[in-house]
Chain A
């Protein structure tokens, strides 16, 4: 039977009803109407459902919601606030995370279905390695468990450019502030 759980999603405490084993993905989408993470495979094989949990990428399609107690979940909807918070600034209406802006500037999405997972992976990568090389970007998107991030449209080249663009913005911003 459904339990009442408290989740911290994009900086807000949210109360939800769900059975303990329900994957986080369905709770985010159907209970909290947070539709950035999307169902791709249900087997942690593609990355379309990726979210940040305490800063680390997690595949929400196989993660039971009961494991999320006391953790901070961030979806693409929460990326602007995450960036503003890291700068100690308030999040404005037009604020975008530099990764999001880079995804627009580089015109990354084709169909776009996988891209929220791709942006989540970029945010995690740039937190760990602010100036990744092309080889390091390819490695992060391909060899990091549990699976490669897959894009059937084939936008990998644009993703690499966007990660590098975001890296430039984020590191130069860091120096000037």
Chain B
């Protein structure tokens, strides 16, 4: 545990002394100011509306990509620069190292999001636009959850590849698959299933396996607009809006984080043992 904290502290120091972090921070800022201004320009209609959808989508375009790149590079640079080789001469396991990284990067990402939302919110208010507390909290929470899940995937990618290039390619692949072409992929493949009845269960299972879609669908259901998904998903809407909904959601998100970091650690330590990574 102490080791994890040490690695996390080191990660935070390294992260905030890295110019890439600030480049991403500026990008995130421009983007957050844009979306908050966009959202606040809409007359206050309660609950979910099309603008909420647009803002959710814009967050989904950028944030996972930034996280995947930051997280992936953070691990691979250690491998490439030989720092991991040095560190591993100390009694520290891959898992400890990865969890320390996760914690450190999580602090960096949350700080980045706090900064962007804080700045964007202040600017929005200074410009005299209205901003509701629920909008701010919703998008902040949505972004944090998304960042934390994609961070663990980024660490998984960093663990299984050898260098920054591989990490970049794999990161973009994951981003492209889970976000950009997800609907196209689903529709083109699932409509060829032998039975119509298989489409829904498989799509549901795959949605659970795509954190971006899962977080998005849950958020929309939680905002009370779940009926947009049609009568096929009444059961999902029922559990999402029930008292246990948040609990189940957290459990699934947590298992995503735990699983990807553990799988990453497992493959890394196996590879190290075999001398392949």
Q: Are both chains from one complex?
A: no
Binding site for B on A (CB under 8 A): none
